[in-house]
Structures are given as C-alpha cells and as structure tokens.
C-alpha cells in the first residue's frame, strides 16, 4: 500500500470515527436511525403536510400498526426537554397529552442528524376529517355533532394539561372508522398554555381569529374556540366560513354568516358564539361543552354510518374512495375487519389561496344549491410569510378598498420556491441520506473491527 493511499484511508477512518462520535452524541445508541430500522418496518406514505411527511409503518415486535412522522430539524421552531434530551416541542406536547383518549398516542421517537422520527399509534382503518368531509361535500348535523363533541372534549382536556394545540382543523383530526372515535394529531404548532397573550403563530391562517391579524396577538383558549367555530361551520357547509384575512376581520360587519345547508338554530347559535369577533365576548370552551346543541345525546356511530350505507346503496357502489386508507388490506399487515361505511372522494388539490368561498361582500345565502367545496388541504398551501402577514394586517387596518387577497397573492409570487413539493423532496432526500449513512456506518463498523 502506497503512502498516499494509506494517508487517504487514515483520513477517511478519522472522519468516520468523528461521524460515529457525532451520532453517539446525538443519541444514536438508543434513539438513532439504526434502532428505528430495527424496531419498525417503514411502508408507504400516509399523508403529508407543510412541515413533514407521515408514513405508515409496522412495529416488528408485535405487528402494531403505527404512523411515523419525519420532521426536519430546520423546520423545528420551538424546542423542549424530555429527560434532559432536547426535542421538538411537538414531541413534548404529544407526550404531555399521552393519557388523553382523544389525542393520538405517542409511542416512540428517534433522532437522526437531519431531524426527528415520531412514532404514533395509527387507528385502522382511519381517515382524516378533511377527506371524510370532502368525500361527502358536507356531513349531516348529527354526524357533525358526533365528531365535534369529541373534539371539543379533547381540546378542553389538552388545555387542562396546559397544552394549547394551535392548529385545530379537520386535517388534524383522524377518525377511527370502526368506532368513530376521533384522534387529534399534529402538535407541530402546539405550545404550553399560558394566561398571557401569544405573539407568535404557526397554525393555519384561515382558522385563525381576527385579533391575530389586527393586533398580532391572541389568547390561547379564545383562539382555540374560534378555530372550533371554523371547524364546525366547515363540517356542516363543506366550506370554510372565511376566504381570507379580510373576511375574517370584517365578516361580523355583514350580519350573520350564510349557511348553505338547512341546519338547526341551536348549531347556528353555537357557531356564532364561537366566531364572535371580540375575543372577550367569545364563548369559552366550557360554554361550548355546556351548550344545548353539544349536550344533546349523540346518535351512535353505527346508526350514523348505517344511514350512509343506505344512501350509498342507491348510489354507485364502485365509488368507494377510501381505498387509499383501506388499500392497506392488501399489505401483509395484521388485518382487522372493518365496515365499509363511509365514502370519500379523491380530487386533485388545485386551490392556491382561498379554500373557502364565503360571500365576501354580503351574507346573502345563494339561491342555487351549494356545490363547491374545499379542494386542497390548507396545510398543503405554503404557510404565510411574515411579509404576507404584515400585508394582511396592514390591509385589514386600512378602511379602503385595498384588496388583501391580491396583496397576498403578489407577495406569494416571490415565495414560489416554498412549494410543499420542494419541502417533501427535501424530506425524502434527508431520509434517503440517513439510510445510506446507516449502511455506510455498518460497513465502517466492519472495517474498524478488521
């Protein structure tokens, strides 16, 4: 072996050893990627949002179905500590809610140089509430009641555990199709609940209360109540109540919100109490739980979905779109029996800005029967930048014809590179890099032993 070759090998060895040390410091021994690979079998993609990709996986020791969310280190905005280890706030908040029935259970987490892998329970078969609503255009008042009641109880329990979710929306609720129980997911924007105001926000702007756009401040519980109002309105109408920040800030001046389906006066009353412009006049979480509409005895999941089946038999039977979720049955995973009860449709997401289509100039309900509904998940839209936020705040403060919608669109042109696809390809590359590094590590391990 010539001297330059030997020197090159020594250099490589040194850098590998340094890398191994880094991995060790990073917790590779107990929470590294190789441990993850040993414990879980990663499968196809399950869903994706603006900040991460979620995969289906199976725990190899007992074939438990799990979901694995990968979040990039660079996307982590808030950090916390668990047993002395620095982790994203998302993991910490999930851990704090581990005993709450309506919150997805955190099973495990791993740290790799590029980010974190969060292992969660995965109800099977399940569907997220966005797809559930989209598949039907809208859901019945009884179904909305069944789901909303559970979600509000969960949010209240989180608050009692001093956890504020801050991104309550249909995309972040998973429904177990066997039992109908809801699980709150995505604690990526969650933080510790406090009495004082918050001046930072990472959630979804169309679910955000007006005080944020007008004053860049909000109170935790009051903002949660607003989001719940948006969620309930959306469930019943199949569309969001507000199209943009301007709508959010000015809708109260135009009278009651329009309803595109016949619903009870009780639920309308509840929605208007949740979507009260003044946060100090807005109803509390406790008041929602005590509202006569919420306190009604819910119908059973069997009954609610039986009606669906009856309706469905008169429709085309082949139109069963939950295949994305139920398609798992062809896998070698443990199979469970499930009722084919709910139908959802998959349509390509197209909207770039507005997802709701509320009347922006007046609140007159349309004569024609409502057809349109939200096409794209809000999380797949690029999150607003601080420049966009400033533009919105500025616009909502200006009592002129200034068009916030256009202003935001213009600002958005600059940030085209932030498309979710770009984020996702980064995520996948990061995972692939981690996998090849693990293989490299194994080789170097053998080399070092030699």
Ligand X SMILES: Nc1ncnc2c1ncn2[C@@H]1O[C@H](COP(=O)(O)OP(=O)(O)OP(=O)(O)O)[C@@H](O)[C@H]1O
Give the interface with ligand X as residue ranges (CB under 6 A): 46-52, 54, 67, 69, 104, 120, 122, 126, 128, 171-172, 174, 185-186, 188, 379
Q: Which residues contact 434 (CB under 8 A, 6 or more apart)?
A: 33, 112, 113, 114
Both structure tokens of 392 = 């919105």
Q: What is the DSSP string of 106-157?
A: EEEEEEETTEEEEEEE--SSEEEHHHHHHHHSS--HHHHHHHHHHHHHHHHH
CB closer to ligand X, 219 vs 381: 381
Q: Which residue is nearest to ligand X (CB)?
A: 49
Give yes or no for a contact between 180 and 305, defined as CB atoms under 8 angstroms apart. Answer: yes
What's the rounded Cα separation, in Å, for the pair 151 and 285? 11
CB closer to ligand X, 122 vs 412: 122
CB closer to ligand X, 156 vs 377: 377
CB closer to ligand X, 53 vs 283: 53
Q: Please, what is the minimum distance in Å from the beta carbon of residue 227 to ligand X?
A: 13
CB closer to ligand X, 51 vs 148: 51
Kindly report whether the peptide bond that precedes residue 30 is cis, defined as omega within 30 degrees of 0.
Answer: no
Taking alpha carbons only, the member of 186, 103, 173, 165 closest to residue 132 is 173
Q: Is 167 a catalytic residue?
A: yes
**Beta pairing class for 182-184 and 115-121:** unpaired
Q: Please, what is the minimum distance in Å from the beta carbon of residue 415 to ligand X?
A: 16
Give yes or no for a contact between 185 and 173, defined as CB atoms under 8 angstroms apart. Answer: yes
Give yes or no for a contact between 174 and 126, defined as CB atoms under 8 angstroms apart. Answer: yes
What's the rounded Cα separation, in Å, for the pair 59 and 131? 26
CB closer to ligand X, 122 vs 282: 122
CB closer to ligand X, 46 vs 240: 46
Taking alpha carbons only, the member of 170, 191, 173 closest to residue 181 is 173
Q: Please, what is the minimum distance in Å from the beta carbon of residue 298 to ligand X?
A: 23
What's the rounded Cα separation, in Å, for the pair 64 and 71? 22
Q: Please, what is the minimum distance in Å from the beta carbon of residue 135 to ligand X?
A: 13
Q: Which of 167, 170, 186, 247 is catalytic?
A: 167
Q: Please, what is the minimum distance in Å from the beta carbon of residue 448 to ligand X?
A: 38
Q: Which residues contact 98 (CB under 8 A, 6 or more apart)?
A: 105, 106
Q: Please, what is the minimum distance in Å from the beta carbon of residue 322 to ligand X?
A: 12
Give yes or no for a contact between 171 and 161, defined as CB atoms under 8 angstroms apart. Answer: no
69 a known binding residue? yes
Taking alpha carbons only, the member of 264, 233, 250, 202 closest to residue 355 is 233
Q: Please, what is the minimum distance in Å from the beta carbon of residue 412 to ligand X?
A: 17
Q: Please, what is the minimum distance in Å from the beta carbon of residue 173 to ligand X?
A: 9
Taking alpha carbons only, the member of 166, 206, 173 closest to residue 355 is 206
Q: Which residues contact 77 (CB under 8 A, 6 or more apart)?
A: 89, 202
CB closer to ligand X, 56 vs 282: 56
Q: Which residues are annotated as a binding site for ATP?
A: 69
Residues designated catalytic: 167
Q: Which residues are annotated as a binding site?
A: 69
């Amino acid at each position: 072996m010539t001297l330059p070759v030997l020197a090159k090998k020594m250099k490589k060895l040194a850098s590998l050893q340094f890398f191994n040390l880094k991995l060790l410091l990073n917790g590779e021994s107990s929470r590294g990627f190789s441990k993850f690979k040993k414990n879980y079998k990663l499968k196809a993609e399950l869903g994706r949002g603006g900040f991460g990709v979620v995969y289906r996986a199976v725990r190899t020791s007992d074939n438990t179905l799990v979901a694995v969310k990968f979040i990039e280190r660079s996307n982590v905005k808030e950090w916390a500590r668990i047993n002395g280890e620095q982790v994203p706030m998302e993991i910490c908040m999930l851990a704090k809610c581990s005993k709450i029935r309506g919150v997805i259970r955190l099973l495990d987490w791993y740290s790799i140089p590029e980010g974190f892998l969060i292992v969660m329970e995965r109800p099977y078969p399940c569907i997220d509430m966005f797809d559930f609503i989209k598949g039907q255009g809208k859901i019945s008042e009884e179904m909305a009641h069944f789901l909303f009641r559970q979600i509000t109880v969960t949010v209240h329990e989180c608050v009692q555990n001093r956890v504020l979710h801050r991104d309550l929306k249909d995309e972040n609720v998973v429904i177990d199709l066997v039992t109908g129980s809801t699980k709150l997911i995505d604690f990526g924007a969650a933080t510790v609940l406090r009495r004082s105001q918050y001046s930072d926000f990472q959630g979804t702007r169309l679910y955000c209360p007006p005080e944020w756009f007008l004053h860049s401040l909000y109170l935790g519980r009051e903002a949660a109540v607003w989001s719940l109002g948006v969620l309930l309105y959306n469930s019943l109408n199949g569309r969001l109540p507000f199209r943009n920040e301007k709508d959010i800030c000015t809708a109260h001046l135009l009278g009651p919100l329009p309803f595109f389906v016949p619903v009870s006066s009780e639920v309308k009353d509840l929605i208007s109490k949740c979507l009260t412009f003044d946060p100090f006049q807005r109803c509390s979480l406790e008041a929602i739980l005590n509202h006569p509409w919420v306190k009604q005895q819910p119908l059973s999941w069997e009954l609610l979905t039986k009606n669906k089946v009856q309706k469905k038999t008169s429709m085309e039977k082949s139109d069963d779109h939950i295949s994305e979720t139920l398609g798992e049955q062809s896998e070698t995973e443990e199979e469970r029996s499930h009722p084919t009860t709910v139908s959802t449709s998959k349509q390509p997401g197209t909207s770039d800005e507005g997802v709701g289509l509320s009347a922006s100039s007046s609140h007159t309900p349309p004569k024609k029967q409502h057809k349109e509904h939200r096409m794209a998940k809000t999380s797949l839209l690029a999150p607003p930048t601080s420049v966009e936020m400033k533009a919105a705040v500025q616009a909502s403060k200006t009592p002129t014809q200034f068009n916030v919608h256009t202003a935001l669109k213009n600002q958005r042109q600059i940030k085209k590179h932030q498309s979710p696809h770009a984020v996702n390809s980064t995520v996948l590359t990061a995972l692939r890099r981690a996998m090849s590094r693990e293989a490299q590590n194994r080789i170097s391990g053998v080399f070092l032993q030699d």
